[in-house]
Chains A and B, each alone.
Chain A
């Protein structure tokens, strides 16, 4: 595999020869053991990595991106996976078949890694300080106090707030973004030549993602570290990569510079992949014009508040309340989609659950004109028929021991709407409706892919002929191509059945594609709401602007404007009993576009 190298590439040796690659992967093939013998999961991957270069491994789940990284780190799960052919040359030395003791010396010092899940990738019972110092002490001959001051320097370098305090804290005391900074500090501690970042921002909010990407880029620039970035997000690729390898099902589909890839992809797969990527600003204003005709109102929410008590003290009394949702009002008409956007903890999912009457709330929720608060269990069943939910994780939201047909039939049985042949016919019709073959009914969830499972979940939600579907991050766990298909299905169903959606998402580009109106939530309150084109096109509130500026643009020619880091501390949603947060008063900008006056 011959790499395309920028001519201005700096050679670390300072000689005039052509630059020497830091890392070369040649014809790497990996097999995993299955009951039917070895199965090739990585098939002849080859690339070289230059000093100071950012190489992206892009592709959908199961393409072998992480496996490649684990092979380079010598961390393939043994004995399940093994390298059957190829070479991994680090500075000319082959890592394949290297003894564990020798490999250990290379990890952290020559090749280091950042993982996807910041919430689980730090040891919960060790202080942050010790987790940083132990890597220094494992590879360098330094005293405990020297290691500690080095750790402090590292935390400063990854722009951690109050670094002295963090050293003594435990992972659970830090937010996801802060934990990822710690993981980066650990990875950079011994100044490795190669940094492998495996989906380092996927689990983070978009504003935090922007900060972390920015940080990786800055650190990489300063130390001259070469980076292998693994990502499924073409926006991230466009933003950070010098070169890209597109992978699919263990094969290398395409290798080119990032500009070339986006400008003229050479394979159909890459073209399809790029076409499926939702792009912010791609929906023309006319297409997304608000259609608030005089249709019936399906849902009306007035001053909805949800509080979770925090108990403590000797008598276990309520001491504080988490104001998860604070006086939120909105309405959704028949056939309309309202998107709730905001970062984790902003109250999006809580609103969805309140609509389903799954938790106690204050204020008023009317579904088809009927107030749901204080209804008896029996009366609630009628309401729940009208509101159904699709969840984020199609793997966790289906019972692994029931056939998918039984799971789609279950709501019909519970509400005694069909039985016998009628039930079977109805379920069959639902399967066809969501684009699944009728014989899929008799199979179990594990026999389906993520996208197919989400179709089953949609069929289950449709079973009761609901008026409103609450779709809580329902495409977030799916690959872009599958995501596009599921979104298309949802749109079709809306057109044909006149369904309304409450679309909960953190992905602004997807939101722009599907929604008629948008409500931006911040710390449990709506800070901006209005037609999608107005809110996303001309955001008024500082928080909405910040959120939009953080979205990576899947186009290397149009890098997003520098992300505005928040200067304010995050607003706490915890309040003492009897007190409430300051109310965000909304101001009308015309065309039903409202935003809070206070800057966020």
Chain B
């Protein structure tokens, strides 16, 4: 088990290294000139040149990357061109808000998605199932800013059940987490439905029924634990999907997370922040998958490495 884990960690580090190369190259190929960006429009050619030298932008590519990587390993993500602050500090200040939002969204999508999936599968092809199918397709296809604004209008503006925007209390979390979670919920409902239908046909479920167990026991002890196995791997991948949604949702709800930070940085071509956020998101995806890999053997004894 520990050997397997160690191997997965080493693999994850290699993936992160690869991501650092790709992000670095992408931004290097960008037509925007960071030196010009920092100096401002009115600066002279000489000033821009000086700044370029200061930042090491005139060095060969591999040296720039090496410089970037060594700084990265020391936790230095560079300085924001415009805010003149350390990127690591900016991200650190906003990361907890984003993690909280993500956790809230995962809880939302799992509770809603899995419940609806189980209901659909148990009453397969019934009217309830058909209604839920339509609902889940709608939620998967609706743009998040539309869902966000709709939820805001209904629950904040009309019903006054939740605050319109802001951060700090549980009430503030509900609507943004729901907006982010609804997309995933539709997705998980479909996945759980087909997984459940698959498991309900299995021989061991027939064995469980022949034991004279109650419906609840069969469902919660025999069917759901087996049906949920393919879902676990999905959750790891899901974190990547969240990152794109977070940029939108944080803007709609003025949620002070890294999505908002990234959005502002993209508008102003603040390259160090963009790179920092990209890297942190990549880390989140890699860690998410690693966690999913670690949780899976706890649920499924067959993948425990001997």
A73 within 8 A of B: yes
**Residues of A contacting B305 in the complex (Cβ-Cβ under 8 angstroms):** 312
- Chain A: CB-nearest residue to B226: A125
A120 contacts which of B203, B299, B301, B302 (Cβ < 8 Å)?
B203
In the assembly, what is the distance between CA of A314 and CA of B6, in Å?
7
Given contacts A124-B204, A124-B302, A134-B217, contact A107 B210 (CB under 8 A): yes
Q: Mark each residue of chain A from 513 to 556: 1 if its CB lies under 8 Å from any CB of chain B, else 0.
A: 00000000000000000000000000000000000000000000
B225 within 8 A of A: yes
**Residues of A contacting B226 in the complex (Cβ-Cβ under 8 angstroms):** 123-125
**Residues of B contacting A313 in the complex (Cβ-Cβ under 8 angstroms):** 3
* Pairwise interchain contact A123-B208, C-beta atoms closer than 8 A: yes
* Pairwise interchain contact A122-B212, C-beta atoms closer than 8 A: no
A380 to chain B, nearest CB (A): 36
Dominant SS at the B interface? helix
* Pairwise interchain contact B299-A125, C-beta atoms closer than 8 A: yes
A433 within 8 A of B: no
**Residues of A contacting B7 in the complex (Cβ-Cβ under 8 angstroms):** 314, 316
Give B172-219 interface residues, CB cut-off 8 Å to A.
Answer: 202-204, 206-214, 217
**Residues of B contacting A135 in the complex (Cβ-Cβ under 8 angstroms):** 211-213
A391 within 8 A of B: no
A195 to chain B, nearest CB (A): 11
In the assembly, what is the distance between CA of A115 and CA of B204, in Å?
10
A135 to chain B, nearest CB (A): 4
In the assembly, what is the distance between CA of A186 and CA of B209, in Å?
12
A138 contacts which of B203, B206, B212 (Cβ < 8 Å)?
B212
Given contacts A126-B221, A138-B217, contact A120 B202 (CB under 8 A): yes
Give chain B's interface residue range (CB within 8 Å of chain A). 20 to 34
B5 to chain A, nearest CB (A): 10
In the assembly, what is the distance between CA of A313 and CA of B305, in Å?
10
Given contacts A121-B207, A122-B207, A314-B7, contact A170 B212 (CB under 8 A): no
Given contacts A109-B212, A138-B211, contact A122 B204 (CB under 8 A): yes
In the assembly, what is the distance between CA of A108 and CA of B218, in Å?
15
A492 to chain B, nearest CB (A): 39
A559 within 8 A of B: no
**Residues of B contacting A108 in the complex (Cβ-Cβ under 8 angstroms):** 210-212
In the assembly, what is the distance between CA of A197 and CA of B86, in Å?
72
**Residues of A contacting B202 in the complex (Cβ-Cβ under 8 angstroms):** 120
Q: Mark each residue of chain B from 232 to 250: 1 if its CB lies under 8 Å from any CB of chain A, else 0.
A: 0000000000000000000
* Pairwise interchain contact A125-B300, C-beta atoms closer than 8 A: yes
In the assembly, what is the distance between CA of A196 and CA of B7, in Å?
48
**Residues of B contacting A126 in the complex (Cβ-Cβ under 8 angstroms):** 221-222, 225
* Pairwise interchain contact B213-A138, C-beta atoms closer than 8 A: yes
B284 to chain A, nearest CB (A): 26
A172 contacts which of B6, B212, B221, B302 (Cβ < 8 Å)?
B302
Give A113-131 interface residues, CB cut-off 8 Å to B.
Answer: 113, 115, 117, 120-126
In the assembly, what is the distance between CA of A349 and CA of B261, in Å?
61
Give B1-55 interface residues, CB cut-off 8 Å to A.
Answer: 3, 6-7, 10
A75 within 8 A of B: yes
**Residues of B contacting A121 in the complex (Cβ-Cβ under 8 angstroms):** 203-204, 206-207
* Pairwise interchain contact A104-B301, C-beta atoms closer than 8 A: no
In the assembly, what is the distance between CA of A112 and CA of B212, in Å?
9
Give A283-314 interface residues, CB cut-off 8 Å to B.
Answer: 312-314
Q: Mark each residue of chain B from 108 to 144: 1 if its CB lies under 8 Å from any CB of chain A, else 0.
A: 0000000000000000000000000000000000000
Give chain A's interface residue range (CB within 8 Å of chain B). 20 to 34
In the assembly, what is the distance between CA of A275 and CA of B305, in Å?
51
* Pairwise interchain contact A115-B207, C-beta atoms closer than 8 A: yes
Task: Determine which residue in A105, A108, A123 has the highest number of CB atoms from chain B within 10 A of its CB, and name it.
Answer: A123
* Pairwise interchain contact B3-A104, C-beta atoms closer than 8 A: no
- Chain A: CB-nearest residue to B302: A172
A106 within 8 A of B: yes
In the assembly, what is the distance between CA of A124 and CA of B300, in Å?
8
**Residues of B contacting A314 in the complex (Cβ-Cβ under 8 angstroms):** 3, 6-7, 10
A183 within 8 A of B: yes
**Residues of A contacting B213 in the complex (Cβ-Cβ under 8 angstroms):** 104, 134-135, 138
Task: Determine which residue in B206, B207, B299, B301 has the highest number of CB atoms from chain A within 10 A of its CB, and name it.
Answer: B207
B279 to chain A, nearest CB (A): 26
**Residues of A contacting B3 in the complex (Cβ-Cβ under 8 angstroms):** 312-314
**Residues of A contacting B299 in the complex (Cβ-Cβ under 8 angstroms):** 125
**Residues of B contacting A113 in the complex (Cβ-Cβ under 8 angstroms):** 210
* Pairwise interchain contact A73-B217, C-beta atoms closer than 8 A: no
**Residues of B contacting A106 in the complex (Cβ-Cβ under 8 angstroms):** 212
- Chain A: CB-nearest residue to B301: A170
- Chain A: CB-nearest residue to B6: A314
B210 contacts which of A105, A112, A172, A312 (Cβ < 8 Å)?
A112
**Residues of B contacting A353 in the complex (Cβ-Cβ under 8 angstroms):** none
**Residues of A contacting B207 in the complex (Cβ-Cβ under 8 angstroms):** 115, 121-123, 183, 186
* Pairwise interchain contact B211-A107, C-beta atoms closer than 8 A: yes
A560 within 8 A of B: no
* Pairwise interchain contact B211-A186, C-beta atoms closer than 8 A: yes
In the assembly, what is the distance between CA of A107 and CA of B217, in Å?
15
A139 within 8 A of B: yes
In the assembly, what is the distance between CA of A430 and CA of B205, in Å?
44
Give A153-202 interface residues, CB cut-off 8 Å to B.
Answer: 170, 172, 183, 186-187
In the assembly, what is the distance between CA of A263 and CA of B227, in Å?
51
B297 to chain A, nearest CB (A): 11
**Residues of B contacting A316 in the complex (Cβ-Cβ under 8 angstroms):** 7
B80 to chain A, nearest CB (A): 40
Give A61-115 interface residues, CB cut-off 8 Å to B.
Answer: 73, 75, 103-109, 112-113, 115
A-to-B contact residues, CB < 8 Å: 73, 75, 103-109, 112-113, 115, 117, 120-126, 134-135, 138-139, 170, 172, 183, 186-187, 312-314, 316
- Ranked nearest first, the 7 interchain pairs of A and B with the lowest CB-CB distance are A107-B212, A120-B203, A170-B301, A135-B211, A108-B212, A121-B203, A123-B204
Q: Can you name 4 extra interface pairs (CB under 8 A) apart from A75-B210, A103-B212, A115-B203?
A: A125-B299, A135-B213, A313-B3, A314-B10
Q: Would you give 27 A-B contacts (Cβ < 8 Å), ordered by A?
A: A75-B209, A75-B210, A104-B212, A106-B212, A107-B210, A107-B211, A107-B212, A108-B210, A109-B212, A115-B210, A120-B203, A122-B207, A123-B226, A124-B301, A124-B302, A125-B226, A125-B229, A126-B222, A134-B213, A135-B211, A135-B212, A170-B302, A172-B301, A183-B207, A187-B210, A312-B3, A314-B7
